[in-house]
Structure 1
Amino acid sequence: MLTLYDYMDSGNGYKVRLLLAQTGTPYTLVERDILKGETRTADFLARNPNGRIPTLQLADGKHLAESNAIMWYLAEGTPFAPADRLARAQTLQWMFFEQYSHEPYIAVARFWKHYLPSLTKLQEMELPERMKKGYAALDVMERHLAANEWFVGGRYGLADISLYGYTHVAHEGGFDLANHPHINGWLKRVAGQPGHVTIAHKS
């Protein structure tokens, strides 16, 4: 049995839980509250020295970290991971984009504005640039979706799940998607996929 260590509000963790649900993979969920330092204990750091969720414990006791790596592991041999060489590379391209050009801005703005009681002076200074770069990532997605129903190969897959995790809660970070109709259409298509589950998050 797989064991997933996760924080339920995390978009990175949600991506993994969504894939687990849509592949019908059984697992045990162990919640760790990142706001209380529960991923910085000696026990957790022995599982993931980087002290982050999600972390997946495999049946043999080995551990796998980083949400997109976990997703690739879980998707092998399923329709979510393309068999075609180019489609696999394109999927990785979008997943790298998500972690490098999307998550650091959209997810961080969401965390700062939705979970922290107040911002530090440094965060207040950095926020406009985070928002600017977050919108830049959304604009890249919007242009792609203007000509494509899904991100890779004309079908729902790992790239969509990866980008959906934080895009669908971007409004919690103050991002207005009113001018992104193609993203909004895509969000509805993802939410309509079989096995879809919602994120458990703070309202």
Structure 2
Amino acid sequence: MLRLYDNLSSGNGYKCRWLLTQLGLPFERVEVDIDRGESRTPGFLAINPNGRIPVLRVGPDDHLAESNAILRYLAEGTPFWPEGKREKAAVLQWLFWEQYSHEPNIATARFWITHRLEMTPERAHALVMKREMGHAALRQLEGHVLRQDWLVGDRCTIADVALYAYTHVAEEGGFDLDRYPAVRRWLDRFAAQPDHIQITDRVGTERPFDPALFA
């Protein structure tokens, strides 16, 4: 069975949970307490030396890290991965953009606030910059979904899954989404899909964090 090392507050983990649920794939979910450093333990670092969640165990001694790589792996042969060469490249373009221009600003601001990190002068200064760059990303997204319902083609793909995860909780990082009405409509469209789950929904078979899982 697939096993997802996850954290319930994580948008990157949520992407994988959401798609696993949509595809009806049974999986175990292991909650990794990142605030207590469980992703930096020797066992976890043995499966992902980068020390980050999510990680998907796809087979014995076979672990796949990076949320968008996991989405791509799971989407193979499903409607969430397009057939055309150009459409595939467009999906990848959005996945790269999400991790380079969107997630580092919107998700980081949210993480600092919701995990109550100390707002040092350096972090306070960086937060201003991240909000500026986050709004720039949201403006770009607004312009795109103003013209079409989905990011690529005429249906939801993993591009939408990747961008929905942190956009729909952007207000937790101090971003006013009312400034982006087309983005709001796209978020509502995404959430209206059958079997949609919320970021805090516990899905899969829960397993406690245990060093023996990495043996």
The TM-score with structure 2 as length reference comes to 0.91
Q: Distance in 2 between matches of 1:167 and 1:102?
A: 9
Deviation, 1:117, is: 5.0
Q: Distance in 2 between matches of 1:34 and 1:128?
A: 25
Deviation, 1:61, is: 3.1
- What residue number does 1:180 align with? 180
The question of 1:156 aligning with 2:151 is answered no
Summarize the alignment of residues 8-23 of structure 1 with structure 2, pairs less than 5 Å apart.
8-23=8-23
**SS, match of residue 94 in structure 2:** helix
More deviation, 1-10/107-116: 107-116
- What residue number does 2:66 align with? 66
Q: Distance in 2 between matches of 1:151 and 1:196?
A: 18
Amino acid aligned to 1:94: W
- What residue number does 1:137 align with? 137
**SS, match of residue 57 in structure 1:** strand
The question of 1:96 aligning with 2:107 is answered no
**SS, match of residue 199 in structure 2:** coil
User: Cα gap change, 1:31/1:147 in structure 2, threshold over 3 Å: closer, same or farther?
Assistant: same
Aligned residues: percent identity? Answer: 53
Structure 2, gaps ≥5 residues long? 202-215
4+ residue stretches of structure 1 with deviation over 4 A? none
- What residue number does 2:47 align with? 47
Deviation, 1:158, is: 0.5
Amino acid aligned to 2:161: I
The question of 1:192 aligning with 2:192 is answered yes
Q: Distance in 2 between matches of 1:104 and 1:117?
A: 16
The TM-score with structure 1 as length reference comes to 0.97
**SS, match of residue 190 in structure 2:** helix
Post-superposition Cα deviations, 1:28-56, rounded to whole Å, max 9, x if no partner, equal 00110111000000000011111110000
Amino acid aligned to 1:104: P
Q: Distance in 1 between matches of 2:200 and 2:119?
A: 24
The question of 1:106 aligning with 2:106 is answered yes
- What residue number does 2:213 align with? none
Higher relative CO (Cα under 8 Å, sequence separation at least 6) belongs to 2
Q: Distance in 1 between matches of 2:117 and 2:111?
A: 10
**SS, match of residue 4 in structure 1:** strand
RMSD: 1.0
Deviation, 1:118, is: 3.3
Q: Distance in 2 between matches of 1:136 and 1:170?
A: 13
Q: Distance in 2 between matches of 1:18 and 1:119?
A: 32
The question of 1:83 aligning with 2:121 is answered no
Post-superposition Cα deviations, 1:138-176, rounded to whole Å, max 9, x if no partner, equal 000000011010000121110000000000000000000
Structure 1, gaps ≥5 residues long? none
**SS, match of residue 12 in structure 1:** helix
Amino acid aligned to 2:4: L
Q: Distance in 1 between matches of 2:14 and 2:58?
A: 18
Q: Distance in 2 between matches of 1:139 and 1:114?
A: 24
Q: Distance in 1 between matches of 2:46 and 2:177?
A: 40
